[in-house]
Structure 1
């Protein structure tokens, strides 16, 4: 894989894109948690155990997203696929409601934001690493010129 070379001017746009993706990811995770909370409170089959099984795996990603670990975003993409599949199946049943369609949209947005957030975070860290100014080592003294 070819490693891209970044200039100082590339850092700010990459960090801005990552900040937007991070914000979308955190907001989507919170909305997903609220969807599961609402479903557990309003449905007859809702319970605390069901809420824990549905919401906790997703909500556990929030601290990693806040800290900015790009691997968190990568793992979040894998986990969100299960939720997306569940929401799509629920949305296609005859007795689906608007919450299922909202779940499909939120998980799709979350997947895209997490995928791009991971990429932009990695590239912004690479750009910063490539453009840090390290102090130059002192030049060796020349002998015999005096």
Structure 2
């Protein structure tokens, strides 16, 4: 038995949601980078480790995603959802360490919000592209 496809939303409905989710994704992406930078360069005691090295390791996955996020590539937003799970897990684990609770919950919260906005952008972008193609 063939499954009936749901009709796609109208372009008028998709455009503002697409714009909002894209800008929210960009703002949260920059916020996550800023949060990591402030934490590792200014606030945390790394017990002699070089903060630039630690920060660099944490920023490599985000640096790989940055060009596609800035250009609004829906596939990169989808991949970002996978990568953001690492930051969410790190945030939750850090939240249970004494003296690091605030950073942990902030990192988990920002990564969760970025996950949701990137996921919505991906969904709505593909729906928008399908609608433009005449589907």
TM value normalised by structure 1: 0.79
How far the C-alpha of 1:68 sits from its partner, in A, is 2.0
- Please say which structure displays the higher CA radius of gyration: 1
How far the C-alpha of 1:34 sits from its partner, in A, is 0.7
**SS in structure 2 at match of 1:44:** coil
1:86 aligns with 2:101: no
- Runs of 5+ in structure 2 lacking a partner? none
How far the C-alpha of 1:58 sits from its partner, in A, is 1.4
- Runs of 5+ in structure 1 lacking a partner? 132-146
Aligned equivalent of 1:118, options 119, 122, 131: 122
**Please, what is the CA RMSD of the aligned residues?**
1.9
Distance 1:76 1:47, change over 3 A: same
Q: 8 Å contact 1:33–1:59 — kept in the other structure?
A: no
- 1:80-137, CA deviations, whole angstroms, 9 ceiling, x for partnerless residues? 0011000001012233242222111101100101111100000001111117xxxxxx
Higher helix share: 2
Distance 1:76 1:2, change over 3 A: farther
How far apart, in 2, do the equivalents of 1:62 and 1:74 lie?
13
TM value normalised by structure 2: 0.85
Give the number of equivalent residue pairs: 129
How far the C-alpha of 1:4 sits from its partner, in A, is 4.4
1:51 aligns with 2:52: no
Structure 1 segments, 4+ long, off by >3 Å, are 1-7
